[in-house]
Chains A and B, each alone.
Chain A
């Protein structure tokens, strides 16, 4: 069966901007030009003031947001004594790129990096499988009581993570019915992360937009439900799957408190937790520690630079996130 219709334009647009208050207005605004607070004429008239404002703001932004990161990366290249002076460096006072290599091996940042990457990728995969199948069932299969199930999942949006911290920890330590102890296993991160009501909600709303006729036609052609999901729904849902994927990976990579509790074995720790532990031991040279901070940040910065449109777009659209 080769029923992979090209995604209707309307559908992909919905993914880029899920239905929200902003959508309709944005198109109107484009039609009317980009008039904002200050008119184009005024901006032209006060061209110098405008350029000064842009330049000053850019300098402030670079100083406030970019410079600390530059400082982190550059100061890791110096000697510990130079780092301890706390100078506002422009270029590293000396050049020791081997600090990064030492951090990777001696501080075992490489190990924690691989741990974190493994948790992030596994968690991403499990979140997709669990949340996509759930959203598909809730959107298209709609078995009996599915509205109650959806309500129960959405209700968990109201639960602040902190309220569940202790009981969730005890649950992971001794899973009811099964009696498994998931502490210090990847499952302690993966399974709770899959209970993500926001993902289910976003995916379900997207699936709701896919016309049932399309799926029915495939069913008549003899495709099973799983086949329909795989060959029709998922290809049409690429944009929303992308956004969910990026946020899933970022979420696991950045998480701190939960992995701090459930992965206490130093062999199993994530970068963030390991760095927090090493910060309080004195045998690590500060420069290598800085290099460790950089190593933990680089994947996030790279993901951001590659997917900035999806991330910023998803954030603007997902301003309803709880």
Chain B
């Protein structure tokens, strides 16, 4: 290699990194570094007042000893499970239905996606008004059909379901539209052939639609689990950060770091635990989508 070519290669690489510099700094500072810092922090005591020092596994021990720890996990899993019951099948069914409609197709899509466009804080605060245990809209409607009023988010037994309902309302539009796009990819001749073979509508759904949708259903299942396990805004705005009925893992992290004790070490330890759980789902999701490319 001549000196000129070496210089040329160096200049090319330098130029490439000049273009990459801003991206490297942003990712470095706000993605890669915090990842390492988060793990380090979970083994340190850090409360903003004194310089951080190593404490070994103390943070993890403290987190496990917190009576709210298991409550938070139980609530988070309950939220995720209920969100699957309500939010997972409904968009699929709606998408199958909408895909058959030949009229107002654009309007249906706009309407179902409208709540997704609302800032989540607005959606939850609006529903907080609806949920008012005194004269909220929902209690008015219940009274209108002769049912007793509910405590909704304020009631110990109904709080979790109230969080799930608003979350489902605010988020189902995305999944519905993704299912619709996937449904449009199913070749029509398959339905034609199934019908000629005498398959009923149900059989066509079972043997044509569902097998073709299996991939996107799995992807959306993983995405929904990952998203709902990080639930924060619904409990934060509807029931506050201390209600044992609805405290979730993210709310607990928020409490450790910003609310009760400014204990960033404990918050980091809790984050690491959540990360390990979510990381398993994330890895599965990435493997699925990568291999599909």
Say yes or no: B230 contacts A162, CB within 8 Å. Answer: yes
Say yes or no: A279 contacts B32, CB within 8 Å. Answer: no
Say yes or no: B20 contacts A143, CB within 8 Å. Answer: yes
Say yes or no: A254 contacts B120, CB within 8 Å. Answer: yes
**A197 cross-chain contacts in B, Cβ below 8 A:** 27, 31
Known: A36-B191, A143-B13, A163-B272. A257 touches B232 (CB 8 A): yes
**B134 cross-chain contacts in A, Cβ below 8 A:** 86
Smallest CB separation, A257 vs chain B (Å): 6
The stretch from B78-86, B111-119, B155-163 touching chain A is B111-119
Say yes or no: B100 contacts A36, CB within 8 Å. Answer: yes
Closest-by-CB residue of A relative to B17 is A143
Is B35 among interface residues, defined by CB-CB distance under 8 A?
yes
Say yes or no: B216 contacts A319, CB within 8 Å. Answer: yes
Is B224 among interface residues, defined by CB-CB distance under 8 A?
no
Is A107 among interface residues, defined by CB-CB distance under 8 A?
no
Is A170 among interface residues, defined by CB-CB distance under 8 A?
yes
A275 CB contact (under 8 Å) in B103, B122, B201: B122
Say yes or no: B253 contacts A162, CB within 8 Å. Answer: yes
**Which positions 160-187 of chain B face chain A at CB distance < 8 Å?**
169, 173-174, 177-178, 180-187
Known: A37-B201, A165-B253. A57 touches B278 (CB 8 A): no
Is A232 among interface residues, defined by CB-CB distance under 8 A?
no
Known: A38-B100, A304-B114. A29 touches B22 (CB 8 A): no
Task: Mark A157-184 against chain B: 1 for CB-CB distance below 8 A, else 0.
Answer: 1111111111111111001100000000
**A22 cross-chain contacts in B, Cβ below 8 A:** 181-182, 184-185
The stretch from A7-15, A68-76, A93-101, A237-245 touching chain B is A68-76
Smallest CB separation, B234 vs chain A (Å): 11
Interface size on B, residues (CB 8 A): 119
**A72 cross-chain contacts in B, Cβ below 8 A:** 126
Say yes or no: B30 contacts A296, CB within 8 Å. Answer: no
**B181 cross-chain contacts in A, Cβ below 8 A:** 22, 315-317, 319
**A272 cross-chain contacts in B, Cβ below 8 A:** 119-122
Say yes or no: B140 contacts A293, CB within 8 Å. Answer: no
Closest-by-CB residue of A relative to B132 is A86
Q: What are 7 A-B interface contacts by the 8 Å CB criterion?
A: A37-B208, A134-B24, A137-B19, A166-B41, A272-B122, A301-B117, A322-B223
Please report B residues at the A interface, Cβ cutoff 8 Å. 12-17, 19-20, 22-24, 26-27, 29-35, 37-38, 41, 46, 96-104, 106-115, 117-122, 125-130, 132, 134-137, 139-141, 144, 169, 173-174, 177-178, 180-189, 191-192, 195, 201, 204-205, 208-209, 215-216, 219-220, 223, 226, 230, 232-233, 236-237, 250, 253-254, 257-258, 264, 267-268, 271-272, 274-275, 278-279, 282-283, 285-286, 289, 292-293
Please report A residues at the B interface, Cβ cutoff 8 Å. 19, 21-22, 25-26, 28-29, 32-39, 43, 53-54, 57-58, 61-62, 64-66, 68-69, 71-72, 84-88, 129-131, 133-134, 136-138, 141-144, 146, 149, 152-153, 156-172, 175-176, 191-192, 194-195, 197, 200, 225, 250, 253-254, 256-257, 261, 271-273, 275-276, 279, 286, 289-290, 293, 296-297, 300-301, 303-305, 308, 311-312, 315-317, 319-320, 322
